[in-house]
Amino acid sequence: MDRTVLITGASSGFGASCARAFAKLGYKLVLTARRKEMLDQLQQELAHETKVCTIVLDVRDREAVAAAFSSLPAEFAEVDLLVNNAGLALGLEPTNIKGVMYCTRAILPGMVERNRGHVVNIGSIAGSWPYPGGNVYGASKAFVQQFSRNLRADLLGSAVRVTNIEPGMAETEFSKVRFKWDEQKAHRVYTGTEPLLPEDIAEIVVWVASVPPRVNINSVEVMSVWQAWGPLAVHRSEAG
């Protein structure tokens, strides 16, 4: 298989698991993240399975993204699959929106020109279902959902595919980052339950990328069996 996948936020979590899954299938890997040490470790781990190109990159920097992706080594230049995974849940963190837009804008023209390719965005159930304290994060993931839908609409007539993966509760560095690396506070999020694992999402990403070229998986909403929708919240006053 002579195919190339570019994964953002590849140093850990969903991104690293996707890298491992696609390496087993023989995909060439372009891996980006902000943490060089972790990228280097992942490259060393996977180098025996496939060719790996790593880029230390902050996807919020539009010029840096354009420069990095326009100067990929020749053997990695034709990206077949873009996995927009980089994202955070800190306050007004713009990664979830800017990173998706900038990376897609840089890679998509080549896909359209070749009339093949696939953009997989890692969204969240928070883009559809609100929860207390998740207002800005949920809004950013709602953007990813609508961006994915509208992108596919704009690509009608081409063979370029777009998919939005929407995980529920998953045990990654997500909670550690949200709680500023308070390990105990992050661990309590998953106490007494069995959340999704990064490997579960990687398996789904591989699946949506492996269906016949005529098939476009628009979106996949996935939760652990330990998670489901709750009743609508109702506030009751003490007087009531």
What Å distances lie between residue 107 and 42, 160, 178, 209, CA to CA?
A: 23, 12, 29, 17
What Rg, from alpha-carbon coordinates, does the chain have? Answer: 18
- For residue 53, what are the β-bridge partners? 30
Cα distance between residue 135 and residue 46, in whole Å:
37
User: β-strands 4-7, 28-33: how paired?
Assistant: parallel
Q: Which residues pair with 28 in a beta bridge?
A: 4
**From 102, 131, 137, 190, the catalytic residue:** 137
- The Cα 17–Cα 11 span in angstroms is 9
137 as an active site residue: the answer is yes
Judge contact between 124 and 88, C-beta under 8 A.
no
Q: Which residues are catalytic?
A: 137
